[in-house]
Amino acid sequence: MAGALEGITVLDIGQLVQGPQAGATLADMGASVIKIELPMVGDLSRWVFCAAEDTRSAYYVACNRGKKGMTLDLRTGEGAGIFLKMVETADIVISNFKPGTLEGWGLGFEDLQRVNPGIILACGSTFGPIGPDAELEGADLAGQCAGGLISTIGYDDTPYTPVGVTIADHIGAQNLLSGVLAALFHRERTGTGQRIEGSLLGGQIWAQASEYTHYLMTDELPGRGHYSHPLLRGVYGIFRTRDGWIGIVGVPPDCREAFFEAVGHPELADDERYQGLLTHREDLTELSERLNPVFGTKTTDEWCAALRALGVRFAPVRDYAEASADPGAWENGYFQQVSDAAGEPRTIVGAPIRMSLTPLQPSGDVPALGQHTDEILARYGFSEQDIEGFRERNVV
């Protein structure tokens, strides 16, 4: 079955996660994505090894499966010229170099639009395309720090800690993807491409729009979560069980009496402090002190069964091994087993988007550095002699 973006060509010159993950999702949607990397070096994610003795890169595999791979030195005049020839028939270019880099190579949006008025250029950055920090380099942690996310994690008077995933990069990738899809729709109506900008800082602020709006409305800093959410202060948080942890996602009014009965504190059902989501922080501390010993009397599985029967919203706190063993995660395509070009099975993380008519079709193929260079250049009209010359001059 054809993908929604069949016939769309993407030139992905992104690095690490922010740009490449957007490109990987476009590939799953049916676009033809060409991954362009610096000769002899490649995407920097190739150097994030699984371990000292295991030089595979999970970051590269996760964000670049389903793409064709070529090398091209965009910093050279010859390399930039080849790239512009490719842009003539492309639809989308994805980049997350720091602002000004492409312009310095003669590959800014105006340069691309001169050869293809319909081109869509999606640019990711750390702090945004303008402003005093625009040209500062950064990565995921910079977005988490500067965007305020880390200020909400943990307990007061304890050291700050980042989220243990590249969450700012991921959100930045999804924002780029949203802009690209909207730009494609606009181009269908007008024939004109445009430049899309996204940033790690902006993505983190937007992801916390409700919490930032609370601050803007009240001048009150939400503060840190304390095993909960700093603004959702009812029976909403993480509790220790006999063998792990479980999250209680609020207790609806029609379940409140049964819930407090189940946890051995029926008197709390009528306690005005716990009737909604506006409980004071001090009262929440008292509630945790009363509930944690109770949750510690049963296993996580036992509490999951009990809460399911009560109709209380919950989720067990799982590690990656437990989450990836969840049958529902496989049924929904969040994990999939696909075949690579050699027919070997490969387990992948799938994009969590279901489409009824044009389902996403993830690939297990991951390009080696420069694997398809000759094939791609030949497709654009370059001869074997041309390609050999490029290689001798380290252009590819």
Domain of residue 284, CATH code: 3.30.1540.10
Answer whether 137's CB lies under 8 Å from 126's CB.
yes
How far apart are the C-alpha atoms of 115 and 141, rounded to whole Å?
37
Answer whether 372's CB lies under 8 Å from 71's CB.
no
Answer whether 244's CB lies under 8 Å from 252's CB.
no
Overall domain count for the chain: 2
Answer whether 296's CB lies under 8 Å from 242's CB.
yes
User: So what's the pLDDT on residue 90?
Assistant: 98
- Write down the catalytic residue from 12, 169, 283, 386: 169
* Cβ contacts of 156-165, under 8 Å, gap ≥ 24: 156/223, 156/224, 156/226
* Residues 6 or more apart in contact with residue 302 via CB below 8 angstroms: 241
- Inside any domain, residue 3: no
* Domain match, 196 and 86 both: yes
Q: Number of C-alpha atoms within 13 angstroms, CB side, residue 243?
A: 9
Amino acid at 333: G
How far apart are the C-alpha atoms of 281 and 92, rounded to whole Å?
49
- Inside any domain, residue 107: yes
Annotated catalytic residue 169: yes
User: So what's the pLDDT on residue 169?
Assistant: 98
- Inside any domain, residue 215: no
* Domain match, 50 and 176 both: yes
User: So what's the pLDDT on residue 128?
Assistant: 97
- Inside any domain, residue 1: no
Out of 293, 317, 341, a domain closes at 317
CATH number of the domain bearing residue 25? 3.40.50.10540
At 384, list the tokens: 């074997």
How far apart are the C-alpha atoms of 121 and 110, rounded to whole Å?
10
* Domain match, 120 and 200 both: yes
Longest dimension (CA), the chain: 84
User: So what's the pLDDT on residue 279?
Assistant: 66
Strand ranges for 172-259 from DSSP E: 195-199, 236-240, 245-249
pTM of the model: 0.94
pLDDT digit string, tens, across residues 3-48: 999 999 999 999 999 999 999 999 999 999 999 999 999 999 999 9
Which phi and psi (to 5°) does residue 120 adopt? -110, 120
Out of 285, 317, 349, a domain closes at 317
Alpha-carbon distances of 81 from 77, 87, 94, 110, 371, rounded to whole Å: 6, 10, 17, 15, 21
- Inside any domain, residue 228: no
* Structural domain span for residue 156: 9-207+329-392
* Domain match, 310 and 338 both: no
User: So what's the pLDDT on residue 276?
Assistant: 65
* Domain match, 75 and 176 both: yes
Answer whether 104's CB lies under 8 Å from 70's CB.
no
Residue ranges, the chain, pLDDT below 50: none
How far apart are the C-alpha atoms of 18 and 138, rounded to whole Å?
12
How many residues are present in the chain? 396
Out of 317, 340, 371, a domain closes at 317
- Inside any domain, residue 50: yes
User: So what's the pLDDT on residue 224?
Assistant: 92
Buried b (16+ CB within 10 A) or exposed e, 54-75: eeebebbbbbbbbbbbbbbbbe
